[in-house]
Structure 1
Amino acid sequence: MLSSSHSRLRVPALLVFSVLAAAGMPHGAEAQDPAPGAQAASAVDASAAALHALFDAHSAWSEREYGYTRVDGRRRAGDRLPSNTPEAWSRRAAYWADTLAKLDAIPVDGLSREDRINLEVFRATIAADHENAVRRTWEAPFNSDTFFWAGFAPRQPWHDESEWRNYIGRLRDLPRLFGEHIDNMERGLARGWSVPRATLDNRDTTIEPYTLEGAGNPLLDAFDAIPSSLPEPVRARLREEGRQVVLEQVVPAYRRLLSYMRGEYLPRTRTTIAASALPDGAAFYRTQIREYVTRDMEPREIHELGLAEVARISAEMREVMARAGFEGSFEEFLAYLRSDPKFYARTPRELLATAAWVAKKVDGQLKHVLGTLPRYRYTILPVADDIAPTYTAGRGGLDACWFNTWDLPSRPLYNLPALVLHECSPGHSLQAALALEAPERPEFRSSTYFSGYGEGWALYTEWLGTRMGIYETPYEDFGRLTFEMWRAARLVIDTGIHEFGWSREQAIEYLADHTALARHDIVNEVDRYISWPGQALSYYIGYRTIRDLRAEAERELGAGFDQKAFHDTILRLGSVPLPVLEEEVRAFISSAKEQASRAG
């Protein structure tokens, strides 16, 4: 049984009657009185029907609300962008509140195991959406890492004319969207809700490429990359229409946005950095912990866990330093790793080629760690130039892994094995492909993402690389430990900033003292933690959850432990809250023990 407050609900008889009636079941004097067993079965069927009716209604609502379309059965962005007016957010908040009330009215005691997981996933997602809507987080619609004005240009060109036409439609809608965001940002400034000023250095420069009227504007460049699989007359029409929309409507909108950001918004943003400084900030920070960690944890508990893990990893890093034969101090070793040219690519292509080589090494080992592999394939691409200066070292998704080739002296090659494992495979890209190809489930399950699960799994795969033979040198293993330390230090830094009054400089120095990350990356990362409270906590807590579950499985199953079955159990679930993950893995352990006992 799932660890859920829902499973403890006791529903009044009148409510059960209403659920049955909604499912079209007979009632009143004309209905025969079924046997008790049939009554129970009918109630279970009605609960499942009511739950799936909510899922279906939500899918239809989402398509209307956000303007999705469908291509080859998958949701894609349509020809318009979602509304961001206060009225739209109020409408969404009311819908989510109503959905939560309907969920809590469904008796769950008789639901199947799969439907209980469906319910847990759905409820956690809707609850987080509702919480953010009522707190009006949309009045600060970007952070130091992610911008509402970026990401409109396709990462890879479409091969379907309808997708290009939808793209042009979205571009026409950009001026309206930007105007709504500006209005919302003004409302946020008026109540002290803004992005912290300290995290916004040079973020306005990411708007500049979109103000160009020629080459270098990503939105214009996209129309020069229409593939030859489309007939030339079609390509010509799309280029002409697209360029006209960009030059006449989109470029002026970006210029207005840039003027507003520099002249109005940035000078008036808050000078504090802690989430606790926001309206009702202490409570808000705890809601962010709940959203990203998917369990209730106090900041003090997280901070102390971080301190303990930093100390443990520090000792292991020194052991690897000794294995590398370095005879100086730890600080000198970090300086050596940050400065010796042999650790750095000379060209962007060299960095991307190294990442691709690591990815193929991983491919050769997957059959030893996973029982089920996806058919869907990802590619490797450089991070787009317009966002690269403030972007992370890499990021992975269903279609691609992106590696940052900007400022190569800050991109050490010894970090790439861990980064490829995390972002590409068996981390995010493989995980997303398996979710896409999972057995038939309610649609939301294939696109739901819980950071504790997803980032926890991806960080776990960095450690799993030690079992796959991916790290070939002590330096690469140190790169892995640097990444593990980076995530453990986040527990200390995120809570330090948002709960315990740490300064930005204190956080930067703490991360610099404990990792071999380049200074540029360290500053970007700290600014991300400041402007995105709670998100950074999910990685290490999710990772420790999976490592602890593996240790439990190895202890309970002994020689019968099969890591392929263990990993398949995790990945087959798709993204779920961590308590659900724990319960399902423990059910796997119990089942494996029972099978071993029968076989013995």
Structure 2
Amino acid sequence: MTNETSTTDLTAEAPTRAQTAIDAVADAHTDMLLQLDPGFATTLGLPGHETEYRDYSPAGLEAFAEATRETLERLTDLEPTDDVDAVTLDAMRERLGLELEIHATGRSLADLNNIACPAQEIRAIFDLMPTDTPEQWGHIAGRLCNIPDAIGGYITSLREGKNRGIVAAARQVRIVIGQTTAYEADGGYFDEFVAGARAKNGAELPESVRNELTAGAEAARNAYRQLTSFLEEELLPEAPEKDAVGREHYALMSRLFLGSAVDLEETYRWGVEELDRIIAEQEAVANEIKEGASIEEAIRILDESPERQLQGTDNLQAWMQGLSDKAVAELADVHFDIPDIMRRLECMIAPTQEGGIYYTGPSDDFSRPGRMWWSVPEGEESFTTWKETTTVYHEGVPGHHLQVATATYQRGLLNSWRRNAVWVSGHGEGWALYAERLMEELGYLSDPGDRLGMLDAQRMRAARVVFDIGVHLELEVPERWGSGTWTPDEGYEFLKKNIAISEGQLNFEFNRYLGWPGQAPSYKIGQRLWEQIRDEVKEREGEHFNLRAFHTRALNLGSVGLDTLRRALLS
């Protein structure tokens, strides 16, 4: 780890400002979220409610909506006192207003997909719970015992959605059935989790705590068995086979993930053009790796290169950590402002085998650091560094860690809602892709293999724009890739040609795009909007433009919708 510091340094360098009336409303809204969603408190590392879950029932969803309405009402007559207030007001009206629009559609009653729904969320909270003491393991046991109520509420919402004719696609239901079956299995996740329970330094737990954990694991398994039965017997027969969600719902989800209402047809055409441009850039780099080599041949050369291979997850984790530490050490105080307390970033192998690489932010006091997680699909033991160098920069520094931890750090400048309660995918993931390209510009991807890996990742994100908008809106297939209108099957073949990942990862990604409309394109579209905003600021400031200062100013805003970001930086 790099420069691990005490949390007493938290406010040593951060600017401060007096709280305003708008800050008070925002903080009160955050407090409400913490009360309604104990898992949110766990995410932030805040004490209290460690054993509880949110209410996933229709009544719980309505409670969130009513609290959101009350917050917007409290903001009605308030005027900003400074630029920070102006951004808060802009962001809250955009985000909370959109939440109510989505709630009104009833789609929250059909919240089910392969990656980001209560079926995974209820289990995943344990990844963030501390495990150092018997008391902390007691909290885990208590939360395990409360899984039945959480699952019960979720089933009630899904049933209500079914009764209203709002049901997720059958493909997603089948996938979640597979996931919940694995969770519920004897000897599965919950049994393994409690079997490995130890206090700090490997000390055995008191028998009473271990008994509570055993009972909790059994309760959790039984609850997931009930969910599996419900999905198989009640929901799946009513689930539509069609994956495409259509324009109206897609436009709403695109706004959710971008914080901007883009022209979907124009964005689709841009995605096709961007994909072609990246492929041409890949071809040029492939020629650097071997003269006359195709992209596919260059990839084979890199995959077969011993110095670019890692065997086993232990080596993968060590490599990720080393590369991350090096980036933090070299970028801090040179290209980015990185306070000491933000320089600790842990690279972890996730306890699941569902595929995907992701980041979780630090606790509010930084006692739990930011973490980069790799969920390795079952059976995968070989990894290639050329593909993943850019991923470490994406998830770590200068990507998500720098972005998320900066907002957390700015406790003296930003209210708690701005720091901790807002995440706009197009802003966050767009920044992470922007960061990948920036690392190339800074010389960190000068090796042709690493650069091809970055382009490989950029190509994947461009292909997702084409696939996601094309399939969900059932648009015309570009001539280069086929004919007619997009279908999931044609889309899968298109992804195979444009995403160089394992079959297990490809299947995961394919199903993710179908079940989470608008999210995957937000990465590349977000990068596009970030670059447009930077270029507009650069043009306005002329010779006075400073890139490091631009990054600091932008990141100090926290995560906001991209239209809010544009207004904040160009007003």
Q: Same fold (TM over 0.5)?
A: yes
2:388 maps to what in 1? Answer: 416
Q: Secondary structure at the match of 1:159?
A: coil
Q: Secondary structure at the match of 2:77?
A: coil
Partner of residue 550 from structure 1, selected from 524, 534, 545:
534
Distance in 2 of aligned mates of 1:57 and 1:414: 46
2:430 maps to what in 1? Answer: 456
Give the Å deviation of 1:539.
1.0
2:335 maps to what in 1? Answer: 369
Distance in 2 of aligned mates of 1:231 and 1:349: 23
1:258 maps to what in 2? Answer: 228
2:469 aligned with 1:489: no
Report the more deviating stretch, 261-270 or 332-341.
332-341
Distance in 1 of aligned mates of 2:393 and 2:502: 20
2:543 aligned with 1:565: no
Q: Look up the equivalent residue of 1:271 and give its one-letter code.
A: E
CA contact (8 A) 1:153 1:219 kept: no
**Cα distance 1:220–1:198, how it changes in 2: closer, same or farther (>3 A)?**
closer
Q: Secondary structure at the match of 2:115?
A: coil
**Cα distance 1:230–1:449, how it changes in 2: closer, same or farther (>3 A)?**
same
Report the more deviating stretch, 530-539 or 360-369.
360-369
1:392 maps to what in 2? Answer: 356
Distance in 2 of aligned mates of 1:306 and 1:72: 34
Distance in 2 of aligned mates of 1:485 and 1:71: 36
Partner of residue 208 from structure 2, selected from 237, 242, 250:
237
User: For 1:471-515, what per-residue CA distance to the aligned partner results, in whole angstroms no more than 9, with x for missing partners?
Assistant: 252121111001111112222111101112521122222222233
* Mapping for residues 43-82 of structure 1, pairs under 5 Å: 48-49=20-21, 51-67=22-38, 74-75=45-46, 78-82=50-54
Report the more deviating stretch, 199-208 or 363-372.
199-208
Q: Look up the equivalent residue of 2:346 and give its one-letter code.
A: T
Q: Look up the equivalent residue of 1:211 and give its one-letter code.
A: E
Distance in 2 of aligned mates of 1:559 and 1:306: 32
Q: Secondary structure at the match of 2:53?
A: coil
**Cα distance 1:372–1:578, how it changes in 2: closer, same or farther (>3 A)?**
same
Q: Which has the higher Rg, Structure 1 or Structure 2? A: 1
Runs of 5+ consecutive residues of structure 1 not aligned to the other structure: 1-46, 277-281, 588-600
Q: Look up the equivalent residue of 1:372 and give its one-letter code.
A: I
Runs of 5+ consecutive residues of structure 2 not aligned to the other structure: 1-18, 363-369, 476-485
* Mapping for residues 148-167 of structure 1, pairs under 5 Å: 148-149=118-119, 150-155=123-128, 157-159=130-132, 162-167=135-140
Q: Secondary structure at the match of 2:341?
A: coil
* Mapping for residues 132-151 of structure 1, pairs under 5 Å: 132-149=102-119, 150-151=123-124
TM-score between both structures, scaled by the size of structure 2:
0.84
Percent identity, aligned pairs only, is 25
2:98 aligned with 1:128: yes
**Cα distance 1:434–1:160, how it changes in 2: closer, same or farther (>3 A)?**
farther
CA contact (8 A) 1:220 1:246 kept: no
Partner of residue 205 from structure 1, selected from 178, 183, 191:
178
Q: Look up the equivalent residue of 1:138 and give its one-letter code.
A: S
2:276 aligned with 1:311: yes
Distance in 1 of aligned mates of 2:350 and 2:57: 31
Give the Å deviation of 1:245.
2.6
Q: Which has the higher contact order (CA 8 A, sep 6+)?
A: 2
**Cα distance 1:211–1:193, how it changes in 2: closer, same or farther (>3 A)?**
same
Q: Look up the equivalent residue of 1:182 and give its one-letter code.
A: I
**Cα distance 1:513–1:339, how it changes in 2: closer, same or farther (>3 A)?**
farther
Distance in 1 of aligned mates of 2:114 and 2:531: 31
CA contact (8 A) 1:303 1:495 kept: yes
Q: Look up the equivalent residue of 2:159 and give its one-letter code.
A: E
2:325 aligned with 1:360: yes
**Cα distance 1:226–1:378, how it changes in 2: closer, same or farther (>3 A)?**
farther
Report the more deviating stretch, 457-466 or 406-415.
406-415
Partner of residue 531 from structure 1, selected from 515, 521, 534:
515
Q: Secondary structure at the match of 2:227?
A: helix
* Mapping for residues 171-182 of structure 1, pairs under 5 Å: 171-182=144-155
Distance in 1 of aligned mates of 2:202 and 2:501: 44
Distance in 2 of aligned mates of 1:346 and 1:446: 38
Give the Å deviation of 1:95.
2.8
Distance in 2 of aligned mates of 1:123 and 1:412: 44
**Cα distance 1:409–1:339, how it changes in 2: closer, same or farther (>3 A)?**
farther
Q: CA RMSD in A?
A: 3.0
2:445 aligned with 1:467: no
Give the Å deviation of 1:366.
1.2
Q: Secondary structure at the match of 2:560?
A: coil
Give the Å deviation of 1:305.
1.7
Distance in 2 of aligned mates of 1:245 and 1:492: 45
Q: Look up the equivalent residue of 2:183 and give its one-letter code.
A: Y
CA contact (8 A) 1:453 1:578 kept: yes
CA contact (8 A) 2:311 2:383 kept: no
1:380 maps to what in 2? Answer: 347
2:183 aligned with 1:217: no
Distance in 2 of aligned mates of 1:479 and 1:262: 40
2:10 maps to what in 1? Answer: none
Aligned pair count? 527
Partner of residue 248 from structure 2, selected from 283, 301, 308:
283
TM-score between both structures, scaled by the size of structure 1:
0.80
**Cα distance 1:577–1:480, how it changes in 2: closer, same or farther (>3 A)?**
same
Q: Look up the equivalent residue of 2:557 and give its one-letter code.
A: L
User: For 1:83-142, what per-residue CA distance to the aligned partner results, in whole angstroms no more than 9, with x for missing partners?
Assistant: 122223223323323332332x2253x531110111122223322322232222232232
Distance in 2 of aligned mates of 1:227 and 1:482: 42
2:162 aligned with 1:189: yes
User: For 1:160-193, what per-residue CA distance to the aligned partner results, in whole angstroms no more than 9, with x for missing partners?
Assistant: 5554443333222211221222222223234442
Distance in 2 of aligned mates of 1:93 and 1:299: 28
Partner of residue 260 from structure 2, selected from 295, 306, 322:
295
